[in-house]
């Protein structure tokens, strides 16, 4: 095995190298790290779906820049009039006798079948400050569109697909690693059930996403990921762990992404173990606390869109108007092209 600079989802090495306008930059607490992929900044589709013409053309220009055969790849895919049909994965369904570990494996299989997004444009905009109900709406859209995704999108999708499993607690688990002068970031969805820990997620690397529900402690789970990073010559520098996420899909709570921030390289093994044990206790305490009530249907309607703060301007063009403005015959073809583009760059 040779060193690989890109074992996970994104890196900060090219953060200051802008691509296009300043709209691609977010504040750190909004997850600025998800704007970099393998050393190259990537775009986020902020206009919703279907993808508007400007974003669509920008994506292909970006593909031409970041892929060695990008321009040729783009011409090859875009020049085909009858692209092969892309199989659409089915959202997992279960029998009453299906065990929790089997259900989690089925969810991970579904996430993997969506494929990792190599296009350089993230199709679903994930703002970490949004309430859970808004993020769950985005997750529903992911299942409808069945487009390739990145690791942060996989975390939101994993929460959505486990909401109906009250015996499974979910929490965000993110990593910062170092390799060859660069810092890399990655995030998965930690899961806890039956006294065991595991994880769901999306990555280029098999051992940096799914972890079966077999780790006795949070320390064991973190060490499992640390060992995977070592296999790619990465040094794990920091681990951020959030709180348990509500199972109420209509909750207006925000996800607590980083309840504990641990400098792994500065802590002894015993100190790290104690910090992770403390965090585990904090998560257990959260279960006993009553979550704020979700708004009723009438109140939700009066609140307006959860995606827009009271001081935010209205969108100039609604999604309905966008759908009308685009040729509907182009939409299935664009989905195929996006999927083929991602596969061709993988």
Q: Which residues are part of the catalytic machinery?
A: 151, 186, 203
Q: Is 213 helix (H, G, I), strand (E, B) or coil?
A: strand
Alpha-carbon distances of 325 from 33, 54, 117, 144, 317, rounded to whole Å:
33, 13, 26, 21, 10
Which of 148, 144, 141, 90 minimizes the C-alpha distance to 115? 148
Q: Provide long-range contacts, Cβ within 8 A and 24+ apart, for 162-167.
A: 162/104, 162/107, 162/191, 162/200, 163/136, 163/247, 163/248, 163/249, 164/247, 165/100, 165/103, 165/193, 165/247, 166/247, 167/100, 167/193, 167/194
* Beta-sheet pairing, 211-215 with 182-193: unpaired
Three-state DSSP class for 187? strand
Side-chain half-sphere of 154: how many Cα atoms within 13 Å?
33
3-state helix, strand, coil in the chain (%, to 5): 40, 15, 40
In angstroms, what is the C-alpha Rg of the chain? 20
Helices H / strands E in the chain, number of each = 10, 11
């Amino acid at each position: 095995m040779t060193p690989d600079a890109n074992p996970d989802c994104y890196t900060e090495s090219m953060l200051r190298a802008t691509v296009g306008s300043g709209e691609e930059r977010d504040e750190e607490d909004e997850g600025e790290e998800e704007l970099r992929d393998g050393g190259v900044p990537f775009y986020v589709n902020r206009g919703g779906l279907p993808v508007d013409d400007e974003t669509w053309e920008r994506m292909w220009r970006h593909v031409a820049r970041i892929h060695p055969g990008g321009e040729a790849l783009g011409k090859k895919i875009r020049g085909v009039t009858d692209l092969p049909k892309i199989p659409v994965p089915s959202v997992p369904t279960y029998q009453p006798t299906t065990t929790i570990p089997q259900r989690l494996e089925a969810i991970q299989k579904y996430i993997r079948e969506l494929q990792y997004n190599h296009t350089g444009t993230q199709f679903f905009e994930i703002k970490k400050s949004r309430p859970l109900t808004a993020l769950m709406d985005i997750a529903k859209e992911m299942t409808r569109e069945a487009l390739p995704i990145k690791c942060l999108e996989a975390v939101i999708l994993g929460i959505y697909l486990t909401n109906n499993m009250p015996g499974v607690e979910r929490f965000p688990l993110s990593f910062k690693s170092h390799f060859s002068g660069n810092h890399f970031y990655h995030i998965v969805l930690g899961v806890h059930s039956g006294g065991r820990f595991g994880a769901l997620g999306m990555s280029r690397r098999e051992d940096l996403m799914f972890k079966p529900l077999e780790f006795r402690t949070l320390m064991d789970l973190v060490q499992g990921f640390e060992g995977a990073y070592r296999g790619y010559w990465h040094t794990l520098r920091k681990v951020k762990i959030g709180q348990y996420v509500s199972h109420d899909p209509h909750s207006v709570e925000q996800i607590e992404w980083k309840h504990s921030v641990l400098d792994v390289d500065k802590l002894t093994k015993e100190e790290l173990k104690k910090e992770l044990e403390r965090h585990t206790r904090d998560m257990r305490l959260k279960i006993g606390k009553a979550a704020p009530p979700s708004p009723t249907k009438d109140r939700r309607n009066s609140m307006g869109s959860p995606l827009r703060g009271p001081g935010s301007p209205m969108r100039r063009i609604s999604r309905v108007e966008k759908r009308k403005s685009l040729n509907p015959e182009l939409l299935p073809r664009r989905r195929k092209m996006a999927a083929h583009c991602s596969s061709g760059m993988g």
